[in-house]
Structure 1
Amino acid sequence: MKNIMIIDGHQAVIEYDSELEMFRGEFIGLNGGADFYASDIPGLHREGATSLRIFLEECARHGVKPTRNFSGRFVLRVPPEIHQAATTAAAAHGESLNQWVVALIKEAVQA
């Protein structure tokens, strides 16, 4: 599982790059790529803050909104047998498939 780091109020996914023997961070929820590398946690904070600052400055300079909009809708493709089993499970809980999946996702992201 990847780790999330908060830098200046923005979330970044952190993973270890074994080829470089460094940690890599990538901000999520932005309208473009803003990544950074460091060999330790203080370095991640420092490099992440620098990367984010430069990204936000460039967005401001070009009149671009820096964060993505989320509509609340996404397409999920699953095998037909999973679709059928999920619909049955939702009905057994007295919920629509959408309500059931939303509850599962909400539980997973709050864990």
Structure 2
Amino acid sequence: MKYLDYKGYTGSIEYSQEDNLLYGKVLGIRGLISYEGETGQQLEQDFKEAVDTYLNDCKATGKKPEKPFKGSFNVRISATLHQKAALLAMETKTSLNSLVEEAIRSRVTQEPV
């Protein structure tokens, strides 16, 4: 899936066959910022306008805008896997965070099969 990017915000691209309309929402934040368009160009323009409106509204109300994908998240795994990962991190003289980051980077950048 391709995404839209603007001012640090990422937007989804969806298609409604029923409405013959492209639509999406900003990803990685709790608030709902949605947009739509009949063409890709209209969708992208509405996405940018939606992000700008959100940022302007936050500024006008003195609210801090949500930052998408802050670089911190909780992961729930089995105690056994947690133990194995922690021990491997200690053996390789690295942090558990670094070990997990390396594993995710390896998986995310892996070429599709």
- TM-score of the pair, normalised by structure 1: 0.66
What fraction of aligned residue pairs are identical, expressed as a percent?
Answer: 22
Distance in 2 (alpha carbons) for counterparts of 1:86 and 1:100: 8
In the TM superposition, 1:89-100 aligns within 5 A as 89-91=88-90, 93-100=92-99
* Structure 1, gaps ≥5 residues long: none
* Structure 2, gaps ≥5 residues long: none
Question: Which secondary structure state, in structure 1, belongs to the residue aligned with residue 24 of structure 2?
Answer: strand
Q: Does residue 51 of structure 2 align to residue 38 of structure 1? A: no
Q: Does residue 11 of structure 2 align to residue 13 of structure 1? A: yes
Distance in 2 (alpha carbons) for counterparts of 1:110 and 1:88: 25
Q: 1:108 to 1:38 in 2, by over 3 A?
A: farther
Residue 11 of structure 1 aligns with an amino acid whose one-letter code is Y
CA deviation digits over 1:27-71, x for unaligned, max 9?
Answer: 24557321212343212211112212221221122111223384x
Of stretches 34-43 and 54-63 in structure 1, the one that deviates more from structure 2 is 34-43
Q: 1:13 to 1:108 in 2, by over 3 A?
A: farther
Distance in 1 (alpha carbons) for counterparts of 2:103 and 2:80: 18
Residue 77 of structure 2 aligns with an amino acid whose one-letter code is V
Counting matched residue pairs gives 108
- TM-score of the pair, normalised by structure 2: 0.65
CA RMSD of aligned residues (A): 3.2
Residue 73 of structure 2 aligns with an amino acid whose one-letter code is F
Distance in 1 (alpha carbons) for counterparts of 2:41 and 2:106: 31
